Amino acid sequence: MSGTEKAMQGVADTLREFWAHRPVRPRAGRKLGGVATGIAMRFQIDPVIVRIAFVALALSGGVGIPLYLAGWLLLPEEGDEVSPLESLISKGHSSMSQAQTVLLGFLMFPALAFTFGSGGFQVLVTLAAAVACIYLLQKNRGHLQPASTLADTPVTPPVPGAPAWDPLGAAPFAWDLPEPSPRPQPPAPRPRKPRVGLMTLGVATLVVAGSTIAGTWAPWFTIPHVIGLLIAVLAAGLLIGSFTGGGRGLIWLLVPLSVVGFAMTTINFDGPNDFGDRNETPKTVAEVKDRYEISVGSVMLDLRQLPDSGSVKTTVEAELGELVVHVPKNADVTFNCEASSIGELNCLGKRAEGSTAQVDGTDLGDNGEGGLKIDLDVLTSVGEVKVLRD
């Protein structure tokens, strides 16, 4: 067997050990399904670090979402014989119902579609980093007893009636011998913490430099993709540092970078580069523009001073922000309101919120059909949309 084959066999054996002694999702102290808490307890690391790592992976192309769902399905709950997925195929008992297990399984499909549909190479790198972290955890801390059982190890009480062993029982004259003085021991050398944070920052610097060079001939290395790679490197460094010591300072770089990465992958900046607030109040039909758009900020379009006849068609659009349109009481308004990523809509009494929210319809106003006709599109990626008649 060659050296490469031996190395691959060692990795496979370590991953098999992880599966054989996989974490157990606790019933207490968990935030959602107990996956992060179970991993932290199994390998005696800080649960906050594991949760932040999952959040960072979720913001890095969405990888953390299917990984968390997979842990929910494949890790048994405290007190159960097997995991929910194994229980579904009749391998033992799980406290999760089959309906809940099937629902989690169905949630995997949109999670995987979103992850692989938006990430590409970045997703593969992040998945490889996650598998590498699992391998390192099992390799370096797999021998540890889960933290939840350390304090529960029973102490065997003495058997009632059994004679206690007395090493001086046969030599009463030795009972008053002085205690030997302990031999002074040299102070134990303080273990040197590996500089995981500095090493991770070094790798991150190499990623930036390599991406800058590769970006001259490979169009894939855009700013959002490079940020995704940096998030994957920092998340891997944070997990490695959780069981080797150090690296906690990476949190202060990982969290804001994850927020920036989420914003850049959610918001399309190919449109206008306007920032701030816009207030428009056209008084004639001719003054109404075909489009009012902004990148980040707010747009307030007041159409209440338009005449009672004629027709207008306009679009109000923002990537991130608040859009408010006021229409006359008697106008016939055909509207389409949409938040393509996430937002809250309130358009002439129709409401919607969440991801990819949309409402549309026609509202004839207080006097019914007749008068000024308005065809209105109000669109945002992330934000709030209002069409008000007041």
| Predicted pLDDT of residue 356 | 81
φ, ψ (nearest 5 deg) of residue 6: -65, -40
Q: Is 321 left (phi over 0), alpha (psi -120 to 50) or beta?
A: left
Residue-by-residue DSSP string for 51-105 = HHHHHHHHHTTTTHHHHHHHHHHHSPBTT-SS-HHHHHTTSS--SS-HHHHHHHH
Q: How far apart are CA 312 and CA 374, in angstroms?
A: 5
End-to-end CA distance of the chain, in Å?
80
Q: Is 388 helix (H, G, I), strand (E, B) or coil?
A: strand
Helices (H) and strands (E) in the chain, counts: 11, 6
Mean pLDDT of 54-79: 83
User: Is the pLDDT higher at 177 or at 377?
Assistant: 377
Share of the chain above pLDDT 90, in %: 19
Q: Would you call 106 exposed, middle or buried from its count of C-beta atoms within 10 A (0-12, 13-18, 19+)?
A: exposed
Q: Would you call 188 exposed, middle or buried from its count of C-beta atoms within 10 A (0-12, 13-18, 19+)?
A: exposed
Model confidence at 160: pLDDT above 60? no
pLDDT tens digits along 294-325: 887 889 999 999 999 899 999 999 888 899 99
| Predicted pLDDT of residue 165 | 45
Residue 161 vs residues 154, 158, 325: alpha-carbon distances, Å = 21, 9, 88
Residue 200: both structure tokens together: 């991770």
User: Is the pLDDT higher at 175 or at 44?
Assistant: 44
Geometric angle at alpha carbon 241, from 240 and 247, rounded to 5°: 135
Tell me the β-bridge partners of 323: 299, 385
Q: Would you call 149 exposed, middle or buried from its count of C-beta atoms within 10 A (0-12, 13-18, 19+)?
A: exposed
Model confidence at 69: pLDDT above 50? yes
Mean pLDDT of 34-52: 86
Lowest mean pLDDT among 103-112, 120-129, 131-140: 120-129
Q: Which long-range contacts (C-beta less than 8 Å, at least 24 apart) are formed by 357-364? A: 359/335, 360/335, 360/336, 361/334, 361/335, 362/332, 362/333, 362/334, 362/335, 363/332, 363/333, 363/335, 363/389, 364/332
Pair 378, 347: CB distance under 8 Å: yes
Q: How far apart are CA 92 and CA 109, in angstroms?
A: 25
Model confidence at 248: pLDDT above 70? no
Residue 120 confidence class, pLDDT cut points 50, 70, 90: low
Q: Is 193 helix (H, G, I), strand (E, B) or coil?
A: coil
